[in-house]
Amino acid sequence: MRILLNLDVDDLDRALAFYIAAFGLTPARRFGDDVVELLGADAPLYLLRKVAGSTGAGTTPRAYTRHWMPLHIDVVVDDLDVALAQALAAGAVQEGAIRDEAYGRIVQLADPFGHGWCLLAFSARGYDAIAT
């Protein structure tokens, strides 16, 4: 099984610039004018240009202000402070303080399109520190 991540954005060029600068992803293929494949993570990320107000799944119109969704993406990094500075410089918004947990250090972010992300630097034991 493979997982592909598809993320709706209203401005493909701005999204492309953000994800390259914030997370060091690399553009790969383009699919017409509305889709770009980004590589460099364990799963490819596809940016899909979708107009604000258009309807995707269900009946709720797309909005690109900060919103809740039942999925967020953790970006595992070696140095949380460096990764956070890079993401903020690219336009991410930090949501709350960096937290020290048994499994590592974590901080919540929002991208410029309202999607939630976390930066996570695992401790030496990682999730084994909390596994039951």
> For 85-117, what is each residue's pLDDT tens digit?
999 999 999 999 999 999 999 999 999 999 999
Mean pLDDT of 67-93: 93
Nearest 10 degrees: Cα torsion 110, 115, 116, 119: -70
Residue-range domains of the chain with CATH: 5-52+64-129 (3.10.180.10)
Partners of 122 in the β-ladder: 104
pLDDT at position 57 is 73
pLDDT at 59 over 90: no
Tell me what pLDDT residue 132 has.
87
The pLDDT value recorded for residue 78 is: 96
- The H or E element containing residue 90 is helix 80-90
Q: Is the pLDDT of residue 58 over 90?
A: no
Task: Write out the H or E segment, with its range, that includes residue 38.
Answer: strand 35-39
Say if residue 56's pLDDT is above 80. no
pLDDT 10s digits, 8-52: 999 999 999 999 999 999 999 999 999 999 999 999 999 999 999
Those residues with Cβ within 8 angstroms of residue 74's Cβ, 6 or more apart along the chain or in another chain: 106, 117, 118, 119, 120
The token duo for 37 is: 């494949």
Per-residue pLDDT band for 3 (boundaries 50, 70, 90) equals: confident
